[in-house]
Chain A
Amino acid sequence: MSVETVRWPRPKGGGAVPFSAFFWRYPWLRPLLLLTPPLVWFVVIYLASLATLLITAFWTIDPFTTQIVQAWNTLNFERILEGEAYRAIITRTFLMAALVTVTDALLAFPFAYYMARVASRRSQTLLFAAVLLPLWASYLARVYAWILILNHNGLLNWSLTSVGLPAADIGYTNTAMWVVFSYIWLPFMIIPVYAALERVPESLLEAASDLGARRWRAVRDVVLPLALPGVVAGSIFTFSLTLGDYITPILVGGAGSSFIGNVIYSNVGIANNIPFAAALAIVPVAIMAVYLLIAQRLGAFEAL
């Protein structure tokens, strides 16, 4: 009649029980211990470096020696906000990122729908592999191949003129950048959308049709809302990757195609004006912070 009789069954594992029991009694301890190493990494390295960058935005450099002068001011920010060129560049980058996101969402959705709901199991595997494979071909090589397609004597113009159509001289223009960006980030949009579509149980669609909805209506009212988190998750990648890219504008862009990334890069890698580059870098960070908050509300984080 003592407490002995309601003791836990003795395990065969030896001394593991006290350990497990300990964690059972203090449930918050296990997550804490597990979380500490990655959190330490993140805080000490990543966050600290981001914070350092943020702080440097408030300093300036001595023009001749390019040494950082640690005098607090907001000159850099004023220069960005007042500079017509900078405002134009920021707007251009933002609009392109939005355009690429919408384009990729439109391109990816039917593809992902087919993969998730129509394709056989084997086709699914093959298509999934087909979407992943381009990610293993170097980003640089693929962008460079696009130059070949889009320039004046390139594949595109050659194909068009071969069938009698007028040449589309889109090489080194913003249009070219739009095409290339949409191409490069497409797999990043297809994968989360596919994952989200796959999770939609067929039973829901059957219920919808039982209630009298035709296929299109069912897709629009049932599938799309459920797939939205996936689309938003994919859009995080397409938007942020376009926002910060500088290599594609260098390779494929023309005159008047500078992105925020290009100005940041030229201030870090060329002019060595780190404070100004840091101030510029805050712009995409701020934009993404807002975007992430919205994305979280829309449930994208669950769909990554």
Chain B
Amino acid sequence: MKFRALAALALLAVAACGGTGGNTGSTQQQPPTANIKPPDAIGAGEGQLNLIAWEGYVDKSWADAFTKQSGCKVSAKYAGSSDEMVTLMKDGGGSQYDMVSASGDADLRLIYGGDVKPMNTKLIPDWNNFQDYFKAPPYNTINGIHYGISLQWGPNTLLYNTKKFPNAPTSWSVIYDSANKGLITVPDNPIQIADAALYLSKTKPDLKITDPYELKQKQFDAAVQLLKDQRPLIKKYWALASDEITLFQNGDVMVGAAWPYQTIQLKAAKAPVDDTIPTEGATGWGDTWMLATKAPHPNCAYLWTAYVSTAKVQALQALFFGETPVNTQACAQMEALQAGSCRQYHADAPGSYFDTIKFWKTPRAECGDGSTNCIPYDQWVAAWTTIKG
């Protein structure tokens, strides 16, 4: 219940501030590709599928079975940030790429840039089993038209070395603490400024930060300053998932911001690590498979989307990466594969967990309260270069 109420609120909030291409009020401007009618049936596979994906989203353990089943050979280009995905997808995918597993902060940019086109949910049988919120979330559905099919969602976690921190850290302050100088790593991604803002929203309440993606100048400057102060403490900004895994494995860092994927890989390699979500909460991402406007292999794309939406594959991916599936039937599959996993990744009771996550969205000049002096994303990018040095 609470989950639905909050989802509705989130819907309103995002619609109010994030839904338009710069127009006034809450009327949603139609994206450029809105009139492209999706197909009514999936035709024969074209034999090839080119995906842009997060590291760990196209693993052989489920991609190979797909290739056998559909005849579509899957080729994945990995991107380390939403920005990279948006850039790779420019010009409708450049007639090179078919789909992109975009997170919430990339979706609107892709939609309004005309780089993705509407998809027909009727062609995805498992769509009916999705949680209601993820059937038409505001970041991929505009005016009732679906510009992609929701995939999975999850948090950015605090990863730590259990030898150095026998008790799980309870606050993000560990990554800003000079006692850990030279032992910290954070992602090389401008959206990290939101993480700093989230931390400040709890530790410096007089800044009155409510939404870490809608920052006024003073709030933005405070977040940037926090990160600049953090820089001498950082061993390395990780750009690739394997960077962070290597850093922890070789004892170069002891604590850092990560995805659950790194924790799982490190634990498999018997590294003494664990992850947690501190009391201040965490940022997170909700991912969607979106279809490129100029996709050269649309049939394979639909076949893939239908495949990764099935309960079995949702469970496989959730366990591999450490995220939460959108398919309600995946829980049972997860339990069958790994007892206790359904609870661990919150696939059974997502409501309260969902609240603690501030999902990635594109920072815009339009703030939720009607004013238009929030800091837009291009300034986040410029600031990030000055932070990293």
Question: Footprint of B on A, CB under 8 Å?
Answer: 63-66, 83-86, 88-89, 147, 151-154, 171-172, 250-251, 253-256, 258, 263, 266, 268-273
Contact = CB atoms under 8 A, between A and B. Distances in A.
23 contacts: A64-B376, A65-B21, A84-B386, A85-B385, A85-B389, A151-B252, A153-B250, A171-B250, A250-B239, A250-B240, A254-B234, A254-B236, A255-B234, A255-B237, A256-B231, A256-B388, A266-B381, A266-B385, A270-B84, A270-B87, A271-B378, A272-B83, A272-B87
A63 B377 contact: yes
Interface of B: 21-22, 81, 83-84, 86-87, 90, 109, 112-113, 231-232, 234-237, 239-240, 243, 246-247, 250-252, 364, 376-378, 381, 385-386, 388-389
B87 A152 contact: no
A65 B389 CA distance: 27
A85 B386 CA distance: 5
A63 B376 contact: yes
Of listed A64, A84, A171, residue having the most chain B CB within 10 A:
A64
A154 B247 CA distance: 11
Given A151-B246, A271-B87, A272-B87, 15 more contacts: A66-B86, A83-B386, A152-B252, A153-B250, A171-B250, A250-B240, A254-B235, A255-B231, A255-B388, A256-B388, A258-B389, A263-B385, A271-B378, A271-B381, A273-B381
Nearest to B231: A255
Nearest to A268: B87
A60 to B, nearest CB: 10
A189 to B, nearest CB: 29
B385 A171 contact: no
A88 B389 contact: yes
Of listed B112, B246, B388, residue having the most chain A CB within 10 A:
B388
B235 to A, nearest CB: 6
A250 B112 CA distance: 31
Contacts, number: 84
B388 A65 contact: no
Contacts of A152: 250-252
Given A269-B87, A270-B84, A272-B87, A255 B246 contact: no
A66 B236 CA distance: 29
Nearest to B380: A271
B231 A272 contact: no
A66 B113 CA distance: 8
A223 B81 CA distance: 53
A208 B386 CA distance: 57
A66 B83 CA distance: 11
Contact of B250 (A63, A151, A266): A151
A84 to B, nearest CB: 7
A100 to B, nearest CB: 20
Contact of B83 (A85, A153, A171, A270): A270
Nearest to B383: A85
A295 B386 CA distance: 34
B250 A270 contact: no
CB-based closest 9 A-B pairs: A255-B234, A63-B378, A85-B386, A270-B83, A152-B251, A151-B250, A256-B389, A272-B87, A152-B252
Contacts of B21: 64-65
A64 B236 contact: no
A84 B385 CA distance: 11
Of listed A152, A250, A251, A270, residue having the most chain B CB within 10 A:
A270
B252 A171 contact: yes
B185 to A, nearest CB: 9
A255 B386 contact: no
A81 B239 CA distance: 27
A154 B84 CA distance: 31
B389 A255 contact: yes
Of listed A89, A153, A255, residue having the most chain B CB within 10 A:
A255
Given A64-B376, A65-B113, A258 B231 contact: no
Contact of A65 (B112, B364, B386): B112
Contacts of B87: 268-272
